[in-house]
Amino acid sequence: MPNHIFGRSTKGTLPTAVSGEGCYLIDSTGKRYLDGSGGAAVSCLGHSNAAVRAALHQQLDQVAFAHTGFFTSAPAEQLADTLVAHAPDGIERVYLVSGGSEAVEASLKLARQYFLEIGQPQRHRVIARRQSYHGNTLGALATGGNEWRRAQFAPMLVETTHISPCYEYRDRADGESLEAYGQRVADELETEIQRLGPDTVMAFVAEPVVGATAGAVPAVPGYLKRIRQICDRHGVLLILDEVMCGMGRTGHLFACSEDGVSPDMITIAKGLGAGYQPIGALLCSGKIYDAIAAGSGFFQHGHTYMGHAMAAAAANAVLGEILNTGLLARVREQGEKLDAALRRTFGQHPHVGDIRGRGLFRGVELVQDRDTKAPFDPSRKIHAKIKAEAFAAGLICYPMGGTIDGQRGDHVLLAPPFIITDDQIDELVSKLSGAIEKALA
């Protein structure tokens, strides 16, 4: 049979997934794969969760889709209420979309429209960080830090500049306290705002825990608070992208609540639908919503599938599982166990430079030399070899190469389902260890 799919499976070399059971995916040959990264931090409840399946069947029997230009729906209303009830202070409105890039794209447009409505049309610039991924649509792509992803599409539609991420393993100076480091790196935002001209800057966008591009690198304590102060000083909106680290992944429904920060907007997706439905959301403050309500009264945006009843029903069931069955505490507990197992196995490894993360969002960074932290030569493609070896051994994990500047090592991102057991943590770490040894051989 010819392969007509245009995308990652074009080569026709991928196995066919046929079923899922808890933390495992099963292919058409019967081979089982432990889902150590929830795909890409998506499958937070594992596969074939009974409550989500039941909710989807029930919703399908009622109504699947009713266009939001004509109707609202009970699942969409319920979802917005639950998200706002658990969101950081000041977050009052929810805009439902179908994924992470759409949520980020909507946040950029909402920021722009907000400043138009309040009579500051000159504010259009975005500041983000070099180590970041915010999606693949044109606005989100402009915001992400990865130069090679952007290069062929330049010039970008959104004018964005990039400052340093908060990455203490790489960038904290000898003898510098965590607090001093956090302030120093946050102060790059102040410098950049001054350089661009404070009244031209619209928003600062960041992931509280950097996911795919860095391997679960959390902000150090105090960093995001300092960022919040700088944004407030200059009237710049703070947009936190929790598409990967949100929805309980760090042990808190919203990762930024651990940092004690209330942003102006939060983007979520991935774990919100947990893989059962494509869904994302943009959450925003009452201040932003009120400015638009008092002005033109209408956010100039919209997607056909926004607020889809099936997607919202899945998300409600996912949130029900996360919030009502003790899963957040479990994420923190199993996250500590995963961290301990990683440290037992790799703590003395000559090529493991750093083990970090929060909750069930963990990263392992590989280096050529532990003392100098020099990364492996990118041409060795260590990350790709780890991915292939792990997959062959029946483990799904999420390795990525160092960045283009050559300053960051290959890393492996781990984001298993929240239901992972102690034995499955051991299986994950032991298979990962085998894959790393083969990749380095």
Q: How far is the CB of 132 from ligand PMP (least distance, A)?
A: 7
Q: How far is the CB of 433 from ligand PMP (least distance, A)?
A: 26
Residue in the structure block whose two tokens are 């990762």:
255
Select the residue interacting with ligand PMP from 55, 186, 219, 244 (CB under 6 A): 244
Is residue 393 a contact partner of residue 440, using CB atoms and an 8 Å limit?
no
With respect to ligand PMP, which residue has the nearer C-beta, 137 or 368?
137
Q: How far is the CB of 63 from ligand PMP (least distance, A)?
A: 25
With respect to ligand PMP, which residue has the nearer C-beta, 128 or 309?
128
Q: Is 46 left (phi over 0), alpha (psi -120 to 50) or beta?
A: left
Rounded to 5, what percent of the chain is helix, strand, coil?
Answer: 40, 20, 40
With respect to ligand PMP, which residue has the nearer C-beta, 100 or 359?
100
Neighbours of 70 (CB within 10 A): 6
With respect to ligand PMP, which residue has the nearer C-beta, 88 or 145?
145
Q: How far apart, in Å, are the Cα atoms of 239 and each of 6, 12, 149, 293, 349? A: 33, 39, 21, 20, 37
Select the residue interacting with ligand PMP from 36, 38, 99, 399 (CB under 6 A): 99
Q: How far is the CB of 258 from ligand PMP (least distance, A)?
A: 17
Q: How far is the CB of 358 from ligand PMP (least distance, A)?
A: 15
With respect to ligand PMP, which residue has the nearer C-beta, 105 or 192?
105
State yes or no: residue 162 binds ligand PMP (CB under 6 A): no
DSSP 217: E
State yes or no: residue 133 binds ligand PMP (CB under 6 A): yes
Residues 6+ apart with CB under 8 A from 175: none
State yes or no: residue 138 binds ligand PMP (CB under 6 A): no
Q: How far is the CB of 144 from ligand PMP (least distance, A)?
A: 8
State yes or no: residue 129 binds ligand PMP (CB under 6 A): no
Q: How far is the CB of 48 from ligand PMP (least distance, A)?
A: 21
Q: Cα–Cα distance between 131 and 363 in angstroms, integer? A: 14
Total of residues contacting ligand PMP (CB under 6 A): 15
Select the residue interacting with ligand PMP from 38, 75, 100, 182 (CB under 6 A): 100
Please give the backbone phi and psi of residue 432, each rounded to the nearest 5 degrees, phi first: -65, -40
| Type of residue numbered 294 | A
Q: How many residues does the chain have?
A: 441
Select the residue interacting with ligand PMP from 123, 134, 228, 431 (CB under 6 A): 134
State yes or no: residue 97 binds ligand PMP (CB under 6 A): no
State yes or no: residue 269 binds ligand PMP (CB under 6 A): yes
Measuring CA to CA, which residue among 257, 274, 18, 239 is closest to residue 128?
Answer: 239
With respect to ligand PMP, which residue has the nearer C-beta, 219 or 244?
244
Q: Is the alpha carbon torsion for 106, 225, 163, 130 positive or negative?
A: negative
State yes or no: residue 432 binds ligand PMP (CB under 6 A): no
Number of DSSP helices (H) and strands (E) in the chain, helices first? 14, 17
Q: Is 238 left (phi over 0), alpha (psi -120 to 50) or beta?
A: beta
Select the residue interacting with ligand PMP from 104, 111, 272, 414 (CB under 6 A): 104
State yes or no: residue 207 binds ligand PMP (CB under 6 A): yes
Contacting ligand PMP within 305-344 (CB under 6 A)? none
Contacting ligand PMP within 208-227 (CB under 6 A)? 211-212
Q: How far is the CB of 194 from ligand PMP (least distance, A)?
A: 27
Q: Cα–Cα distance between 165 and 393 in angstroms, integer? A: 34
State yes or no: residue 165 binds ligand PMP (CB under 6 A): no
Is residue 123 a contact partner of residue 200, using CB atoms and an 8 Å limit?
yes
Residues 6+ apart with CB under 8 A from 421: 23
Is residue 78 a contact partner of residue 96, using CB atoms and an 8 Å limit?
no
Binding site for ligand PMP (CB under 6 A): 40, 99-101, 104, 133-135, 207, 211-212, 241, 243-244, 269
